[in-house]
Amino acid sequence: MPKATVALLKTKPDTVLQDIPRLMDMAGVAGDLDPQATTILKDNISWHMPFLSANTTPWQLEGTINGLREQGFNDLVAVHNNTVVTDPYKGGTLNRLNPVYHKYNIPELYNFLPSDMKWVTYKPKAKMLVLDDIYPEGIRLPDYFFGKNIVHLPTVKCHIYTSTTGAMKNAFGGLLNTKRHYTHSHIHKTLVDLLAIQKEIHPGIFAVMDGTLAGDGPGPRTMFPRQKDVILASGDSVAIDAVAAKLMGFDPMSLEYLRTAHEAGLGVADPREIELVGDDLSGESWNFSVGDNTASMVGDLLWFSPLKKLQKLFFHTPLVNVFIFGSFLYHDYIWWPIVGKARVREAMKTSWGRLFQQYPEK
């Protein structure tokens, strides 16, 4: 497999909107996307709360829109998804993304609205590792995604189930419906299957990743925002996730989803085979750690312990609503007011927090 290219830059609030288009050009975005196709912007709202490091930032979105338009990609559309514990409407408002879409006249669609798109059964050409078994009735995808480029907008952060998360995981919400929790016990192989599917249905795939404030700790929500001033871009979802993982202090090839994708030839996870362009960050290792919280410990019991034998009882019946309510209660009404708001207040004191507050709320 030829070397993959990942572009990295150190940036600052005064220059980030100029740095992101330059970063994308260095990463080769013009060659990674089909100029004749519509391009989907797939932001990452891990939580509707305005928690910097957990969600796509407004400058990341705005810089990416400008970078695409500079390269002649003018047919842009945003596609949002929901989860059982995240409200995409609230998330777009509180994270100040909707005003950016409005400023640049980007249409916003929702993959869960029948008026916007329909879900169709798809038979992948690639051999699936787990999705055929998880969804024996057939893998269903949103029809709107077929034949369109996709640009993922993840952040650099840890994740309680995959250690790190980024471009590969960002496809999870877009391509799987609200029953995607069925896959959690097989999350690593699920991400690999989804990347194989993306390569079949999208003529081009690209990612712009924000590490200006990166997420350390039990992500994708309950983290410590750490100021790192880094942005990354690549047409190889595996490679950009591998470089981000290495920056965070993880060995990319020790992470199952990256190693499996690498071995399947879907991208490059071995840092020795990745060409880095831009600023030299090879000396950085941030020593991030996933750690645990109440939600992650419950999740480990339900998804990965012997209790996983009871998953159909817990998650394929109305009992699932008990766990949904418990997660919502814990995150929104216990962790957020007691812990999260204080961390956000500290993040807002940084230069990036001040930039965030310059973006309009509506």
CA triplet 64, 65, 67: central angle to 5 degrees?
60
Half-sphere exposure of 100 (CA within 13 A, CB side): 26
Band of pLDDT at residue 95, cut at 50, 70 and 90 = very high
Higher pLDDT, 95 or 296: 95
pLDDT in tens, 127-182: 999 999 989 999 999 999 999 999 999 999 999 999 999 999 999 988 987 565 66
pLDDT in tens, 302-358: 555 665 555 565 556 666 666 667 778 888 999 999 999 999 999 999 999 999 999
Tokens of 21: 């288009």
- pTM here is 0.92
pLDDT in tens, 249-304: 999 999 999 999 999 999 999 999 999 999 999 889 999 999 876 555 555 555 55
The one-letter amino acid at 130: V
Say which residues have a Cβ less than 8 Å from residue 38's Cβ, sequence separation at least 6. 75, 76, 77, 148, 149
Band of pLDDT at residue 57, cut at 50, 70 and 90 = very high
pLDDT in tens, 196-243: 999 999 999 999 999 999 999 999 999 999 999 999 999 999 999 999
Say which residues have a Cβ less than 8 Å from residue 337's Cβ, sequence separation at least 6. none
Q: What is the mean pLDDT of the chain?
A: 92
Residue 177 confidence (pLDDT): 78
Residue 194 has pLDDT above 70, yes or no: yes
